[in-house]
Amino acid sequence: MSREIIAILDFGSQYGQLIARRVREQNVYSRIFPADVTANELSKLPLKGVILSGGPASVYEKNAPRCDEKIFELDVPILGICYGMQLGCQVLGAKIAPAQRREFGRTSLAIIDKNDLLANLSESITAWASHGDQIEQLGDDFNKLASTGTCPFAAVRHKKKKFYGVQFHPEVSHTPKGSQILENFLYDICGCSGDWKMSDFAGETVEAVRRQVGSATVICGLSGGVDSSVTASLVHKAIGEKLVCIFVDNGLLRKNEREQVISTFRNHFHMDLRVVDWSKQFLAELKGVTDPQQKRKIIGAEFIKAFESEADKIPNAKFLAQGTLYPDVIESGDSRDTHAPAANIKLHHNVGGLPAELGFELVEPLRDLFKDEVRLVGEYLGLPEDMVWRHPFPGPGLAVRVVGDITPERLEILRSADEILIDEIKVAGLYRKISQALAVLLPISTVGVMGDERSYENVVAIRAVETVDFMTADFSRIPYEVLGNISNRIINEVRGVNRVVYDISSKPPATIEWE
């Protein structure tokens, strides 16, 4: 890979992926590495700079994560953020200690030195802090760049080494001028050229897929979501009719989803699309199952059976294309990727977590991208806007939105409610503003009055969130008028529902999905 790289060393920060995304938004390619990556490994890359992430530990603790100190000899600029600042400063001679007053949340940053890192900023800016430790003694080898009311060394520069540190988080939206600070680091200090473009990525990826698969056939598990759709489109652009897509109807789809996938990929893009109707088998195995994790396991197992039933009919099929994204690689602790520092927390990912035992070699053209970057590739490839900007839909489908027992009747109620929800937020012009909207069918009934008669029917919960990275999310402030329209339509048009509630929980502590 010839493109320039910013390496991000992950010390357990909840914002590690966000740092990577913020760098890429500046048209600079970034990758996340484990904290203990060696300087020798990094030296083999077209490295332009290093960012040391934050983290929950204290640098003076015995088992605190460390980096290879030879990284400071690589002659590339290094930016330490929060824990990364403390670690870098400690390595270079400063003393770190618990702060007399911890600093969490918004703070006012007074800028003392407006050269290089803090250039093009006003004398005071708002910054987001999250630390209990800070520099106690800076030493003569550093310049002080900024301070807050409780943190005298909130930003520093080493006089001899190319090391910079900030005791706040420029990557979060709560630091409004954080993007300017990152731009200063990337362009003025690291000298990046900004050559990370989606059009270039698409062209390079198409060529890479051609080289990888040769004359073999590639199978793609197509779900209709943006990830698998962009994957199929990239692979189809590379190898044409040697791609065979398999769409499994599990009986847990949204209304008209099967028809939409067929129309788009078979009729519009002229792909070889095989549809496997396995809905009866899925619903039979799920009957009476209420535990969410058990639902996921059953769905994953049945998906493999359904997929195999069709894959076995395809000659010369040696490769499997999957819509794995960069966050999936990191969060799953993928053993095939040396840059995955996190533990395996994914149980059910993309097309059912197809196992290696199926005998396919994987083609994962999106494994270096974040979701927003995938959407840009989809637009570049000419996918329909509705598909490119479609809200995320879970791999287990409506099974994890029907809380409790899954029956054809309960699925139909939820499908109808979900369709109304999406219709109304589109009519209100809110679909692109909302990151994810969904309806949930609850396992309770409540009393109501319908047509002068007492009713005892289902409750539907509406969930809508706004988020940048899906790691944290806040509920959407949908206008009351729109909420009223959604509620009225669901109660009037969906037989079996007499109450609609709106979920105003944020993530954390709640998750986006209910199960």
Secondary structure (DSSP) of 460-480:
EEEEEEE-SSSSSBEE----H
DSSP state of 36: T
β-pairing, 361-363 with 317-321? parallel
Rg (C-alpha) for the chain, rounded Å, is: 25
Q: How far apart are CA 155 and CA 125, in angstroms?
A: 13
* 484-491 contacts, C-beta under 8 A, 24 or more apart: 485/424, 485/428, 486/420, 486/421, 486/424, 486/425, 486/462, 489/420, 489/424, 490/416, 490/417, 490/420, 490/421, 490/439, 490/460
What is the secondary structure of 182-222 as a DSSP string?
HHIIIIIIS-------HHHHHHHHHHHHHHHHTTSEEEEE-
* Residues classed as catalytic: 82, 169, 171
Q: Are 348 and 248 contacting, i.e. CB atoms less than 8 angstroms apart?
A: no
- State the Cα–Cα distance between residues 277 and 302, nearest whole angstrom: 12
Q: What are phi and psi of 317, to 5 degrees?
A: -85, 110
Residue 261: strand, helix, or coil: helix
Peptide bond before residue 152 is cis, with ω within 30 degrees of 0: no
**Amino acid occupying residue 114:** K
Where is 459: in which H helix or E strand?
strand 453-466
